[in-house]
A and B are shown apart, each in its own frame.
Chain A
Amino acid sequence: GQQVMQIPQYQHVQEGEDFTTYCNSSTTLSNIQWYKQRPGGHPVFLIQLVKSGEVKKQKRLTFQFGEAKKNSSLHITATQTTDVGTYFCAGGNFGNEKLTFGTGTRLTIIP
């Protein structure tokens, strides 16, 4: 079946440093979504990418979808303590209600 892997599994950064998580799917995707889950919380939708090579920005967050639609990345510039949490990518396929969540990257910030 479809597998979605993320690296790194954990990332500890000093506040103010940048952070990047990478997402790789074993199959071509129709779209990719990103979610953030705070400790003790539930996943919260951040963004969806649909087009090959698409880049979207949300303030300090930059999301990219690969040309082959099999990989994606999330980059956070100048991290803040509010960025703490686990970031999941989730891959979707046309005509299918199933999202396959990536393994997640857990971000901790050193103040």
Chain B
Amino acid sequence: DTEVTQTPKHLVMGMTNKKSLKCEQHMGHRAMYWYKQKAKKPPELMFVYSYEKLSINESVPSRFSPECPNSSLLNLHLHALQPEDSALYLCASSQERDTHGPQHFGDGTRLSIL
């Protein structure tokens, strides 16, 4: 069982749709992350939030818009995605704002763009 909950588990959307991915953790972690993972590849960092503020944006296209409403929640808003955006989107959290500590991953959202 994972302590980081992601919804939905699967999402199929057209290129003109708007959807949101949600992530929730109740471990009191102050850093939260979005990763994108293509098949047979490592997770690629997209965004990092520390203490509810965006601290890292890895030059992600603006069609991906992150939001951190509070310390337990992280959203990823999707709009006008491209077929190459199809991937597993992983949310993670960690206690500390630097990398000295494990990251806890959710099960991910498998996204398919038609």
A-side residues, CB < 8 A to B, are 30-31, 33, 41-45, 48, 50, 88, 92-104, 106
Contact = CB atoms under 8 A, between A and B. Distances in A.
A43 B56 contact: no
Q: Looking at chain A's contact residues, is the secondary structure mostly helix, strand, loop, or mixed?
A: loop
- Interface size on B, as a range, is 20 to 34
Contacts, number: 62
B43 interface: yes
Contact of B100 (A31, A41, A43): A31
Interface of B: 2, 31, 33, 40-45, 48, 50, 55-56, 90, 97-108
Given A97-B31, A100-B45, A102-B42, 13 more contacts: A30-B99, A42-B105, A42-B107, A43-B105, A45-B103, A45-B104, A48-B100, A92-B98, A92-B99, A96-B99, A97-B97, A98-B48, A103-B41
